[in-house]
Structures are given as structure tokens and as C-alpha cells.
């Protein structure tokens, strides 16, 4: 079944009845109509999934891990379709016969499942497009993780992403089911009232199950010498009053650390992912969030992952707000930020400036995510900068190869087109491409290649690409 198809499998078993609803969803702050939320047994939630059914999950930190592990104990599925992205753990469910997993973003778990023979396919789409795809597919079961209920409301905790509206639509549809797994270890996070409250009322939830699951512990990675050098080169593009976006990994963490320790102040943050490094930047006192945008006064994000200290810091923290990905990753909204500077990675860059960021010779490695949105968004503003950061080399089968290449190998899949690219940085310097001719761009990229490959890059840069 192709992405976007509405030909979902027809259930072949009778589903259990939907639990009784409390009634209309109350206004936030209204007294809970019952003494407290009614929790359900995990076994009941698992039994509510049909042998042939459709189930959608949030990306990464929003995955209800206890529910998936419990669901994986069943072995009677005939046609269970699961839609998700960036699994935070390995689940037996996806090795079961009759289960197909369609992922919008591969992580270590997806790569392991693929290499182990699981029925898994990649759905090419940027993070924003997950939302209309999900609305079109209309899975019968929506499941998510959340924080413990407070006054009848369940915060969606570490993930807003593309699933918030679909959760509400499923809750309003008697033929669909909403499963929410809550744990005291998941922080209560906030949205923006009144349009994007980042929560569900318990009356919208069919199966509310409590577990002791903890969020993913995404430990800091120690930066390499090359990553430290890249961060040093990147720092010259920052100044007082910049708005910052970073992701995960050695280079983004090193840049966030240097910003936290450095001289710059009055910074803003607007980032698809909120990380441990961005927490430390906030803790440094350098963030004012005077971005001259609709998100002034707080950091907009759509999901968060990091170390346990990050989750404790996020609990009830009004400085960070979780919003749907269609808002956070909107290039036009990104462009409105004062002096926007985005940090993204790449696996390879050719002399035309084409970026390969999510696959290796056509074999899926990660996903599209918000890469192109945060590359293109700053370019819509005269003061914005977009930095693509990568080490100049990598090892393939014990052989060192250049990641700045003359031309992309046959079979490569381009993630971001050349006309979106502004600055490319390796440990040997920064190549500024925006507004330059194809020959000037190729020469600039050759100069930041590793010395062992630089002469060949320089020679090719005089020939390709051409006018």
C-alpha cells in the first residue's frame, strides 16, 4: 500500500465496545466531573486492537512504549498496519507475522528491524507532511504517551508533532479508539492557549493506562576534534540577538555549549527538536526569546529528547511550548525570526551544493524531518543564515572517503536541492554559497574538502557543474 492510499485493511474481527465517554470536553480549568480519571488495564487496551487493524503512533519520544511491548506479546495478527517514525526502542510487535510498519523516519531501531527481516517500509515525507498523510489514512487507533492527568487533563508531554489534531479527530469519532499511556516520569509540558493547548481531556481517551516507563535517555555524545573545529567555524555566524535552531549530535551540542559559554546574549530559540544543549543554553541566561515573531517570550518546539535532567527541567516550564509541527517547521514562520541561524547536518555534498542527508546510495538511513524547512526558512529573510555542518571525511569499509564529492554517486537520493543551500562547514572552513555563481560555489566547496582530496576537488570544480 502506497503512502496516501485510503485502501486500509478491512477489520475481520468484532472490536470490543468503546468505553463510555464522560460527555463534552470541558473548558480548561473546569472542575473534573468525576473524582479522578479512570485507568484501564493494559490487557484491555491490547485486546481492543483487531487482528486486522490500523494504528498510528507519534514520532520518537511520543511513542507509548509499554503499550507497544504489551501488544507485541500477541501473535494472532493477520493485517496490522502501524504508522510511525523514529522508534525509541526495539519492539517484538514489528517482528510478528501479519504486522507491517510504515515509518516516516528511520533510526537505529528501524534499521535493525529492516536488516532483521521485519516488514518495514520508508514513507518519504518531511515532518510537516506527516499531518495530511495521517489525516488521509485515518487510522482506526491513535496511541500516544503522556504525563499523569492533572484536573482531568493529560499533557502530551514530549511530542506534539503531526498527531495532535488526529488524536482529537479520533476522540470525536465513535468508530475510532484513542489509547494514552501515562507515566509519572513524563513531564507535564505546555502548549499555547487557546488554539494549541497540547493536551487531551480524559473524556477523549478510550483507554488510559498507567505504566512506569521512562522517556528515552539520549545521552550526550563527546564531540570529536573535527566536530569541535566545525563548531568553532560556525560561531562566526552568530552574534547578539540571533535566533537559534539545533538538532541532536556532537556538532549541534558543541555549538549550543559554546553559545552557552560564549559572549553572545539576547538570543532566541525556535527549534523543531528541543535538546539537552538547548536546555543548557536557556540555563545560561543568554535566552531572551525576543525574536520579533508570534512566538516571542518562549521557545516553540514540537518534540524533545535528551538526558533525564532535561525532562525534569521541562516539567511545568513555561519557557518552552510544544506546538504542532506545521507551525514550528513552517519556513515562513522560521523566516520571521530575528537573525535566524539554523544548524543541520549532511552525509554528503557535491560541488553543485546538492545535499544528501538521509540515505546512503539510495538505502534509507534516517529521514527527511525538518531538514529542508530549516535550510530554506532562513533564506527567505535577508538576515537569516542556514549552516550545513559535516566532517570532511568518513570511513567506508576501512577506507577514508571524502564527504565533499565531485558528483554524487549513481543511486544517491538528494535530500535538499542546491538552490536552498547557504553555508556548508567542515573542520577546514566555511563555504558561503548563497548568491554566488555555480563556479564560485564549486570552488568554495573544494576549499573546505580534506587536504587529501582537495586537489581533485579543485580540478573538477573548474569543469563541473557548468553554465
Q: Is the pLDDT of residue 25 over 90?
A: no
Confidence tier at 19 by pLDDT (50, 70, 90): low
Write the DSSP assignment of 329-343 as a string of letters: T-HHHHHHSTTEEEE
Largest separation between any pair of C-alpha atoms in the chain: 75
Backbone angles phi, psi at 151, to 5 degrees: 55, 35
Query: Does 272 qualify as catalytic in the annotation?
Result: yes
Per residue in 33-88, pLDDT (tens digit) is: 445 689 999 999 999 999 999 999 999 999 999 999 999 999 999 999 999 999 99
Q: In what order do the strands lie in the sheet with 141-147?
A: 120-122, 99-103, 79-85, 52-59, 141-147, 177-183, 207-210
Long-range CB contacts for residues 308-313, cutoff 8 Å, separation at least 24: 308/214, 308/215, 308/217, 309/276, 309/279, 310/274, 310/275, 310/276, 310/279, 311/158, 311/185, 311/186, 311/187, 311/215, 312/187, 313/279, 313/283
Mean pLDDT (whole number) for 211-230: 94
CB atoms within 10 A of CB 455: 11
Rounded CA-CA distance 256/245 in Å is 9
Task: Tell me the average pLDDT of the chain.
Answer: 93
Homologous superfamily, domain 225-461: Acetyl-CoA hydrolase/transferase C-terminal domain (3.40.1080.20)
pLDDT computed for residue 4 by the predictor: 36
pTM above 0.95, yes or no: no
Catalytic residue among 81, 272, 372, 427: 272
In angstroms, the first-to-last Cα distance of the chain is: 42
Q: Assess contact for 118 and 91: CB atoms under 8 A.
A: no
Q: Which CATH class is domain 42-210?
A: alpha beta
Rounded CA-CA distance 335/61 in Å is 27
Report the percent of the chain where pLDDT is more than 90: 90
Grid coordinates given for 435: 548568491
Per residue in 98-145, pLDDT (tens digit) is: 999 999 999 999 999 999 999 999 999 999 999 999 999 999 999 999
pLDDT computed for residue 222 by the predictor: 85
Per residue in 149-173, pLDDT (tens digit) is: 999 999 999 999 999 999 999 999 9
Per residue in 395-448, pLDDT (tens digit) is: 999 999 999 999 999 999 999 999 999 999 999 999 999 999 999 999 999 999
DSSP state of 159: B
DSSP state of 153: E
Per residue in 344-384, pLDDT (tens digit) is: 999 999 999 999 999 999 999 999 999 999 999 999 999 99
The distance from CA 412 to its chain's CA centroid, rounded to whole angstroms, is 23
Rounded CA-CA distance 198/192 in Å is 8
The domain spans of the chain are: 42-210, 225-461
Amino acid at each position: 500500500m502506497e503512502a496516501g492510499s485510503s485502501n486500509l485493511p478491512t477489520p475481520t474481527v468484532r472490536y470490543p465496545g468503546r468505553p463510555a465517554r464522560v460527555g463534552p470536553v470541558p473548558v480548561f480549568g473546569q472542575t473534573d466531573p468525576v473524582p479522578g480519571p479512570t485507568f484501564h488495564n493494559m490487557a484491555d487496551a491490547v485486546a481492543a486492537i483487531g487482528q486486522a487493524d490500523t494504528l498510528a503512533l507519534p514520532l520518537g519520544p511520543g511513542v507509548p512504549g509499554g503499550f507497544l511491548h504489551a501488544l507485541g506479546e500477541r501473535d494472532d495478527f493477520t493485517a496490522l498496519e502501524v504508522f510511525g517514525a523514529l522508534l525509541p526502542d526495539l519492539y517484538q510487535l514489528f517482528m510478528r507475522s501479519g504486522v507491517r510498519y510504515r515509518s516516516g523516519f528511520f533510526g537505529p531501531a528501524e534499521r535493525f528491524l529492516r536488516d532483521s527481516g521485519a516488514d518495514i517500509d520508508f514513507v518519504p515525507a518531511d515532518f510537516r507532511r506527516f499531518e495530511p498523510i495521517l489525516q488521509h489514512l485515518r487510522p482506526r487507533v491513535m496511541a500516544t504517551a503522556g504525563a499523569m492527568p492533572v484536573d482531568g487533563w493529560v499533557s502530551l508531554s514530549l511530542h506534539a508533532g503531526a498527531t495532535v489534531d488526529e488524536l482529537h479527530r479520533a476522540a470525536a469519532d465513535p468508530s475510532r479508539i484513542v489509547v494514552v499511556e501515562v507515566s509519572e516520569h513524563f513531564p507535564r509540558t505546555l502548549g499555547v492557549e487557546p488554539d494549541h493547548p497540547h493536551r487531551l481531556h480524559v473524556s477523549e481517551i478510550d483507554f488510559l493506562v498507567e505504566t512506569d516507563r521512562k522517556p528515552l535517555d539520549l545521552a550526550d555524545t563527546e564531540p570529536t576534534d573535527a566536530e569541535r573545529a566545525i563548531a568553532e567555524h560556525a560561531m562566526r555566524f552568530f552574534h547578539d540577538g540571533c535566533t537559534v535552531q539545533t538538532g541532536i549530535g556532537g556538532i549541534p551540542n558543541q555549538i549550543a555549549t559554546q553559545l552557552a559559554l560564549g559572549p553572545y546574549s539576547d538570543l532566541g530559540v525556535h527549534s523543531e527538536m528541543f535538546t539537552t544543549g538547548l536546555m543548557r543554553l536557556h540555563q545560561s541566561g543568554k535566552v531572551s526569546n525576543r525574536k520579533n515573531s508570534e512566538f516571542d517570550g518562549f521557545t516553540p518546539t514540537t518534540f524533545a529528547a535528551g538526558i533525564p535532567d532535561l525532562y525534569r527541567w521541562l516539567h511545568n516550564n513555561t519557557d518552552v511550548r510544544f506546538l504542532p509541527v506545521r507551525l514550528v517547521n513552517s519556513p515562513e514562520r522560521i523566516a520571521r525570526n530575528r537573525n535566524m541561524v539554523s544548524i543541520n547536518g549532511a552525509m554528503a555534498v557535491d560541488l553543485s551544493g546538492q545535499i544528501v542527508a538521509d540515505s546512503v546510495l539510495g538505502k534509507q538511513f534516517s529521514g527527511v524531518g525538518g531538514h529542508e524547512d530549516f535550510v530554506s526558512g532562513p533564506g527567505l529573510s535577508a538576515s537569516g543564515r542556514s549552516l550545513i555542518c559535516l566532517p570532511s571525511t568518513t570511513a567506508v569499509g576501512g577506507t577514508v572517503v571524502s564527504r565533499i564529492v565531485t558528483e554524487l554517486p549513481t543511486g544517491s537520493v538528494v535530500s535538499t536541492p542546491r538552490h536552498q543551500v547557504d553555508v556548508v562547514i567542515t573542520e577546514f572552513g566555511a563555504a558561503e554559497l548563497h548568491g554566488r555563481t555555480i563556479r564560485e560555489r564549486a570552488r568554495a566547496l573544494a576549499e573546505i574538502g580534506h587536504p587529501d582530496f582537495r586537489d581533485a576537488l579543485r580540478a573538477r570544480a573548474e569543469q563541473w557543474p557548468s553554465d
